[in-house]
Structure 1
Amino acid sequence: MGKHGQYGALVALLLAGPAAAECRLALALGFDVSRSVDARDYEIQRDGLIAALQAPEIRDAFLAPPDHVTFALYEWSGQKDQRVIVPWTRVMGPDDLDRIVATLLAHERGPERQATALGRALTFGRGVLAEAEPCATRTLDISGDGQNNDGPSPARTYATVDFDGITVNGLAIGDHERGIFDYYEREVISGPGAFVVASPAQSDFPRAIRRKLEKELSVRLLGSLPGTERGG
């Protein structure tokens, strides 16, 4: 290969970069199941996520060519109360999304009346992402309706745990605490392109989770900037 041919091959490789990876996105969702989330709130969240995963536009976004998405979901509350509900699942076709939905439908919520350990939820999510296959982008998605009141704060967590290469987005639910959107915007989100979507009340959660998934599954171009959405 001549000098110009070698140069062209190198440029093509650099331009391809991480976007050429087989997996384009590792997406981990962390759902708040602390004591402020009662049985009805929990049902709204679960059913809202299921409806989003069944929506044609979300399915199309998951399955957009050429590369696939891998998906996981865990629940969190107190410092010692986190558990994976959907282990890492490659979404290669509609059947994979159907299996995720079936897992959510069959799942029973864990112990209630636990505190809100947001810092620990972030650390746990970081560990979940460490177990994902190599992907061009890694996103941790935390939803919740309260500020940290148990264990290390998000700020302390970010100071002591390496989140390099991870985008942390938020879905702030506004039923129980004033200023929760601002708290998530200031303390929780982190990394390139990070954003918060607001759910002013639990009843707004289905719309908010769908909007958030649409944004996260969209192709992110170089130079994308962080953003927030008060209206979801």
Structure 2
Amino acid sequence: MLRMRRVVMAALLALLPLGAQAEACRQALALGLDVSGSVDDTEYRLQLDGLAAALDNPQVREALMQMPDAPVRLMVFEWSGPDNQRVLAPWTVISGDEALSALQQKLRRVARVQMDPSTAIGAAMRFGAASLAAQGTCWRQVLDVSGDGIHNTGPHPREVDMGPLTVNGLVIGEADRGAGGIAQLMAYYRAYVLRGPDAFAEAAIGFRDFEAAMVRKLLKELEFPSVSQGRPLGDAVREAQIRAAE
């Protein structure tokens, strides 16, 4: 499979002008983390350290490095209220182990700052879209929105025009919280947040499942050619609930 991907990659690169080959980027991936008031300090660290650990997962590392002639670019930001978005790691070309390790270390060193406690998913989507606009040379632009609640201020997600961008989700919830449970949150993301024909949402049962959910999500997103068709909503929820019960 990896050999076939490299053959496809070489064929695509051969079609590009020499200048474009030098700047080739197969995917720009912006990761937005929810730091609203519902996220306590322990959960905050579980997100940051969980993302760093997910990027160090051997399978994720292999997926990131599998096409060195067209590397992935990553950017990480956190969000809460309408005017509260903070870049934690600027756009980084994942050209090798050194670049990836430096990004992981940066995430582990991040200290939390006080931010608006509200949940402005639409504003986070607009911020992500503006950030991705500068990565137009990448063949695919993807925004990930992680969150543990629904929008409650700022532009509604359904009103945000994301153009051709893909928007995926990582939904963090509990199996038995009723209106705030994982099934309801997944349905909300499916209805209002996800964008693009191959968009999907991954489920994490609580913040302690964040790292494992992030690994699953990254492995889907980094497939090339893109075949990350979203699973049925019920399948993702049931799998997350089974993992939580183990």
Structure 1 counterpart of 2:151: 148
Structure 1 counterpart of 2:52: 50
CA distance in 2 between partners of 1:154 and 1:215 (Å): 23
Deviations 1:141-161 (A, max 9, x none): 00000000011110112xxx3
Q: TM-score, structure 1 length as denominator?
A: 0.85
Contact 1:53 1:101 in 2 (8 A): yes
Q: Does 1:216 align with 2:194?
A: no
Deviations 1:44-63 (A, max 9, x none): 11111111111111111111
Q: TM-score, structure 2 length as denominator?
A: 0.81
Which residues in structure 2 correspond to 1:162-201 (within 5 Å)?
Answer: 163-175=162-174, 177-178=180-181, 179-201=184-206
2:231 pairs, out of 211, 215, 227, with 227
CA distance in 2 between partners of 1:221 and 1:133 (Å): 18
Name the Cα RMSD after superposition: 2.3
Other structure's SS at 1:49 match? helix
Identity of aligned residues (%): 40
Letter of the 1:227 counterpart: R
Contact 1:77 1:116 in 2 (8 A): yes
* Structure 2: tracts of 5 or more residues without a match: 1-10, 241-246
Other structure's SS at 1:29 match? strand
Q: Does 1:96 align with 2:99?
A: yes
Alpha-carbon deviation of 1:132?
A: 2.2
Other structure's SS at 1:23 match? coil
Letter of the 2:165 counterpart: I
For the structure 1 residues 103 and 133, does the alpha-carbon distance in structure 2 shift closer, same or farther, using more than 3 Å as the test? farther
Alpha-carbon deviation of 1:25?
A: 0.3
Deviations 1:195-217 (A, max 9, x none): 00001211211110110011111
Other structure's SS at 1:26 match? strand
Letter of the 1:198 counterpart: A
Letter of the 1:199 counterpart: A
Q: Give structure 1 regions of 4+ aligned residues with deviation exceeding 2 angstroms.
A: 224-232
Structure 1 counterpart of 2:120: 117
Q: Does 1:69 align with 2:68?
A: no
For the structure 1 residues 131 and 46, does the alpha-carbon distance in structure 2 shift closer, same or farther, using more than 3 Å as the test? same
Alpha-carbon deviation of 1:226?
A: 4.0
CA distance in 2 between partners of 1:216 and 1:111 (Å): 31
Deviations 1:103-154 (A, max 9, x none): 1122111214510000001001001101225101110000000000011110
CA distance in 2 between partners of 1:220 and 1:109 (Å): 37
Other structure's SS at 1:36 match? coil
1:207 pairs, out of 184, 205, 212, with 212
Aligned residues: 215
Alpha-carbon deviation of 1:227?
A: 3.5
Contact 2:29 2:73 in 1 (8 A): yes
CA distance in 2 between partners of 1:113 and 1:89 (Å): 27
Letter of the 2:188 counterpart: Y
Which has more radius of gyration? Answer: 1
